[in-house]
Amino acid sequence: MNLVEQLKYCYHKLSTAQIENPQNESELILSQVLNLSRSELYLNRKEKIDPKLASQIDSLIEKRILGIPLQYLFGETEFYGLIFKVDQSVLIPRPETEILVEKILGEIKTENIKILDIGTGSGAIAITLAYHFPEAQITATDVSEKAIITAAKNAKLNQVKINFIISDLFKNISDRYDIIISNPPYITKSEYTSLPVEVKDHEPEIALIAGESGLKYYQKILEKAKDYLTPGGKIYFEIGEYLSSGIKKFARKNGFNNIVIYPDLAGRDRIMKIG
C-alpha cells in the first residue's frame, strides 16, 4: 500500500466510525508515524509504506475509533507554540486556554512577579508563562500527584523552572502572589453525561466536574484568595460560558469589585479578571 492508498484507507475507517474531521486526523496519524509533514505525504504519495509502519498506523486508527483522543495516542500536544506531554492523568490543553495565557502575558508589566497556578494539570499555563517570563517566580499546584509528575516532565522538556506543589487548592500554600490563575473544573454533573465519548471516557473526571452548578471551585478559590494575594493582586479564571454571573456574585461577596470579562473567538464569556 502506498501513501495515498493508506490515506484513503484511514479516511474510510474514521469516517465510517463517524470521527469528526477524518481527513485531517488521517493526515495527522500518518505524519506522526512516518515522521513526514502533511505536505510531504502528498509529495511522496506513491511511496510504499513499510509493513511495520502500516501496522502502527492501523493500531492508532483502531484506538482512535474507540474514542481515545489523538493527543493521548501521540503522547503530546501543542499549546501556545510549545510541546507538552499528555496522558490520561491530565486534561488535554484547549485552544480556549491560550486566550487566558495571552491576556496575562499582555498585562504583565514586569518579570519580577509571583504567580500561583491552581490546578495546573499538564502545566500548560504555568510553563508557558515561565517560558515567556523566565524571571517570574511561578508556583503550580494540583491535587493529583500524577498530574504534578506530568507537569514537572513538561517543565523540564520546555526548560523552565516551576515550583510544583501537590495541594488541594490553597491547602499547602503559605505565600502571597501578585497573580493567582486557575482553569478549574467547571462542568456540571448533568453536562458531563452529554460530553463526547473521547472526553467523558478518557480525560480525567476530576479535572472536569464541579458539582451541580459548575461553580464549586470558583467559590472555594474566591473565599480564600485574599489571604494569598499581595495588595493590588489579581485573579485570572478561565470560565464556563454561562457561569459569569455566579462567579461575579462570589467575587463581590468576598470583597472583589473590579471584574472584567473577556470573550473567546466565538464571543462567549471565557476569561475573567478579578481584582
Model pLDDT for residues 71-84, shown as the tens digit of each residue: 999 999 999 999 99
Q: Same structural domain for residues 139 and 185? A: yes
For residue 14, report the phi and psi dihedrals to the nearest 5 degrees. -70, -40
pLDDT digits (tens, 9 = 90+) for 12-57: 999 999 998 999 999 999 999 999 998 898 898 889 999 999 999 9
- SS3 state of residue 47: coil
Query: What CA–CA distance (Å, rounded) separates 117 from 30?
Result: 36
State the amino acid at position 173 in one-letter form. Answer: I
Please list the residues that pair with 209 across neighbouring strands: 187
Is residue 266 domain-shared with residue 212, that is, in the same domain?
yes
Domain, as residue range, for 48: 3-66
249 pLDDT above the threshold of 90: yes
Side-chain half-sphere CA neighbours of 49 within 13 A: 24
Query: Tens of pLDDT along 182-213?
Result: 999 998 888 888 888 888 889 898 889 888 89
Q: Which amino acid is at 243?
A: L
> Is residue 236 located within the same domain as residue 178?
yes
| Structural domains in the chain (count) | 2
**Is the model's pTM score more than 0.85?**
yes
Spatial CA neighbour of 117 closest among 43, 68, 182, 166:
182
If asked whether residues 129 and 59 sit together in one domain, one would say: no
Terminal Cα distance for the chain, rounded = 60
CATH number at residue 175: 3.40.50.150
Q: For 28-32, 34-38, 109-113, 124-128, which range has the lowest pLDDT when averaged over its residues? A: 109-113
- Residue 112 lies inside a defined structural domain of this protein: yes
Whether residue 110 contacts residue 137, with contact meaning beta carbons closer than 8 Å, is answered with: no
Are 167 and 261 found together in one domain? Answer: yes
Mark whether 149 and 232 lie in a shared domain.
Answer: yes
Does 71 reside within a domain? Answer: no
pLDDT above 80: residue 7? yes
